[in-house]
Amino acid sequence: MAYESFTPGQRVLIEGMGDWVELALVHWHVEQSDPKAPLNAVLRNTLALIRSLTDDGLFELGSYPPSASGFVRASDTEGALGQIADAYVNHFADGDWERKWLLNITPKGERLAQPFMEAYRREWDAQSSE
């Protein structure tokens, strides 16, 4: 299983194994999966991926406010998704959406990510030894 064949969701799972995943990185993985896609399709697919990852219990949605000492889980995921959609779709050019929201991997997400992470490491090790 090559990293290049991983879906954006699988790549986000791998990213989540290392740290919180910013919305900008989710957007990037979706965009990279189909570089010729129009922006509105990338936006739609990114929002759908975030919803899927949170609805499936693989990630928690939240933020890292300056006043907090770490990740703060959104108490209302549906409300947060609405705020993300507004900022991301209606104010895309502002860029304020890029780092405002984060995805935090859950234990369920970690379990699902493990085989992808192992495949990624094997591929990385093989390329590094060439």
Q: What is the pLDDT of residues 82-92, one digit of tens each?
A: 999 999 999 99
pLDDT at position 103: 97
**Residue 18 falls within a domain, yes or no?**
yes
The pLDDT tens digits of the residues spanning 90-114 come to 999 998 888 889 999 999 999 999 9
Quote the number of domains for the chain. Answer: 1
Confidence of residue 36 (pLDDT cuts 50, 70, 90): very high
Does any domain span residue 31?
Answer: yes
Half-sphere exposure of 59 (CA within 13 A, CB side): 29
For residue 22, being part of any structural domain is answered with yes
Per the structure, the complete domain to which residue 124 belongs is given by: 6-128
- The length of the chain in residues reads 130
* Domain presence at residue 19: yes
- With a CB cutoff of 8 Å and minimum separation 6, the contacts of 38 are none
Let me know if 113 is exposed, middle or buried by CB neighbors in 10 A (0-12, 13-18, 19+): buried
pTM over 0.85: yes
Name residue 21's beta-bridge partners.
Answer: 103
- Per-residue pLDDT band at 3 (split at 50, 70, 90): confident
In a domain, 87, yes or no: yes
CA distance 70 to 82: 23
Residue 39 belongs to a domain: yes
Query: Is residue 1 assigned to a domain?
Result: no
Residue 85, in any domain of the structure: yes
CA nearest neighbour of 100 among 32, 34, 29, 23: 23
